[in-house]
Amino acid sequence: MFCFQCQETAKGTGCTINGVCGKSGEVANLQDLLVYVVKGICMYSTEAREQGKEYPEVDKFVFDSLFATITNANFSKQVFVDRVRIGLTLRNMLRDELKEKGKEIEKRHDAASWYADSEAEFTEKSAKVGVLVTEDADIRSLKELATYGIKGMAAYAEHAWNLDYQGKEIYAFMQKTLAATTNDSLTINDWIGLVMETGKYGVEVMALLDKANTETYGHPEITKVNIGVGKKPGILVSGHDLKDLEELLQQTEGTGVDVYTHSEMLPAHYYPKFKQYKNFIGNYGNSWWKQKEEFETFNGPILFTTNCLVPPRTNASYADKVYTTGAAGFDGYTHIANREKGKSKNFSKIIEHAKQCKPPVEIETGEIVGGFAHNQVMMLADKVVDAVKTGAIKKFVVMAGCDGRLKGREYYTEFAEQLPKDSVILTAGCAKYRYNKLQLGDIGGIPRVLDAGQCNDSYSLALIALKLKEVFALDDINKLPIVYNIAWYEQKAVIVLLALLSLGVKNIHLGPTLPGFLSPNVINVLVEKFGLGGISTVEADMAWMNN
């Protein structure tokens, strides 16, 4: 195996035996094979689309498959074996339809023609189709930058799809670009163009999901979220999918089972529609990487709706209580099947399980405040603008992105603590757990930590910046009193970064380390064109911020 798609990649260069995330080398290779098959599908689907033919089942298979390969989403070997088989069947269906229409399909890239049926053949092939097949380090770097951005797009596209919101142009771009990765004639300049276009469509897919979420559940509003516990058994919901949470809440009403959010699901509390459920108690625990300890004390079953799953210790008491659904999966965990058209998922098994469990052990008490998505902040616009004009707010600091388990990420807590009292943090994603429980106070009633929501809600931060640019009549978004100190971990953070670059945002600091998949030459381009930089010490970066 060779995998360098996440921030924790071994030695900052690549995992080669097993993933730091916990996936085996065999599963990593099968994920590469699935992406390879998806590229073959995209070659045919792109041609079919040019002839006016679209296949919704292909669109869904593509983004579902990519989502399953995101870091910490799915660790199940059988899932990827099955998906490769389905993918080959789907690809050959597209090929045969094009052939019937007289299209020449013989001289194609291997991804469009390779076929096998046995698991042994899959294993053999999977070791030969990884990222290192592209020998030129700079081309490889740009290809993977676009591919990982598209993996992030796939996550957001799936969430929107689950709420019946679709983006045909987004799907077309994703598939066109994945097909382009098989074209060895493309130059570095071609790939720089595709990377920037990936950022543009990243903005569009986040806008689509924002529309899906807000039209379905209402605009997030300022909310105090309980971090204590109730006295009834509970189900802890992790991941990102709001549709799954909604259906679970509907099915637990009146059962005597409470529902809690975990990690990136925290922002569900900000949506008005979820507040109608009296058994929606609060948020339990912290960021994803602390789950091994916190799941032990929760006592009840845990539902993973998407990624951020960490393989349990061999003696973990909660191992028989974890359920997965959607893109998430782990051998030994019970998987809840996808919903049939027009029906809800069936959560009866996890609900019955919860009834047999003790209530959660309280690990903290109090409240945290969030709900500062774009609509809510726009309602406070006059207050915010006045604070800027009077000098009460001197700087906005965007600290969005991902959390992680490396000790070096304590930097973000220290950075937040040492920020001048006239600065406000804008955040989204699980990076907020490094500072959202600190007592940082407020500025004239405006909290110094404004949490917009999940990582995909980084779109709100972009809209807020664009609105401030308009209010202050500036001709360049980079003239705003905003600095960017963003933490990353996996591929959804990659698309957020590319989206910001496509909007013209410069001088972003990215940490705790720069991506291992960026070659030195590609880093130089990003530095020269966009001012992208890494982090250093809190003291040095504080001086940079205050320049």
pLDDT tens digits along 339-390: 998 999 999 999 999 999 999 999 999 999 999 999 999 999 999 999 999 9
What is the residue-averaged pLDDT of the chain? 96
**Which helix (H) or strand (E) segment is 495 a member of?**
helix 491-502
Q: How confident is the model at residue 544 (pLDDT cuts 50, 70, 90)?
A: confident
What is the reported pLDDT for 158?
98
pLDDT band at 104; cut points 50, 70, 90: low
304-333: average pLDDT: 96
Please check whether residue 463 is in contact with residue 118, taking contact to mean a CB–CB distance below 8 angstroms: no
Whole-angstrom Cα distance, residue 41 to residue 58?
8
| pLDDT for 100 | 82
- Percent of the chain at pLDDT above 90? 96
Class of the 10-194 domain? mainly alpha
Mean pLDDT of 121-141: 97
- Of 28, 116, 112, 128, nearest to 76 by C-alpha is 28
pLDDT of 106 strictly over 70: no
pLDDT in tens, 197-236: 999 999 999 999 999 999 999 999 999 999 999 999 999 9
Residue 447 region by backbone torsions, left for phi larger than 0, else alpha for psi between -120 and 50, else beta: beta
Mean pLDDT across the stretch 462-466?
94
Q: Residue 409 carries which DSSP code?
A: G
Residue of 157, 164, 160 lying closest to 342 (CA atoms): 164
Grade residue 102 by pLDDT with cuts at 50, 70 and 90. Answer: confident
The yes-or-no verdict on residue 545 having pLDDT over 90 is no
pLDDT at 310 (0 to 100):
97
**Residue partners of 128: CB distance under 8 A and separation at least 6:** none
Question: Using an 8 Å Cβ cutoff, are 229 and 284 in contact?
Answer: yes
| Bond prior to 301 in cis (omega within 30° of 0) | no
Tens of pLDDT along 29-86? Answer: 999 999 999 999 999 999 999 999 999 999 999 999 999 999 999 999 999 999 999 9
Top CATH class of 223-355 equals alpha beta
Specify the CATH class of 375-545 in words: alpha beta
What does the pLDDT read at residue 286?
Answer: 97
488 in Cβ contact with 497 (< 8 Å): yes
The rounded distance, in Å, linking the Cα atoms of 137 and 432 is: 34
What is the percent of the chain where pLDDT is above 70?
99
Q: Is 189 exposed, middle or buried (0-12, 13-18, 19+ CB in 10 A)?
A: exposed
**pLDDT at 105 > cutoff 70:** no
Predicted confidence band of residue 547 (pLDDT cuts 50, 70, 90): confident
Question: Can 10-194 and 375-545 be said to share one CATH topology?
Answer: no
d(CA 314, CA 209): 37
Beta bridge partners of 129: none
Contact 218, 187 (CB under 8 A): no
Separation between Cα atoms, residue 323 and residue 305, nearest integer Å: 9
pLDDT at 470 over 70: yes
Residue with tokens 């998505």: 373
pLDDT digits (tens, 9 = 90+) for 67-76: 999 999 999 9
pLDDT at 276: 97
Can you give the residue ranges of every domain in the chain? 10-194, 223-355, 375-545
Are 41 and 62 spatial neighbours (Cβ–Cβ below 8 Å)?
yes
Encoded tokens for 500: 């910001």
User: Tokens in use for 48?
Assistant: 């079919």
Nearest CA to 64 among 130, 156, 2?
A: 156
Question: What pLDDT is attached to residue 242?
Answer: 98
The confidence score (pLDDT) of residue 185 equals 95
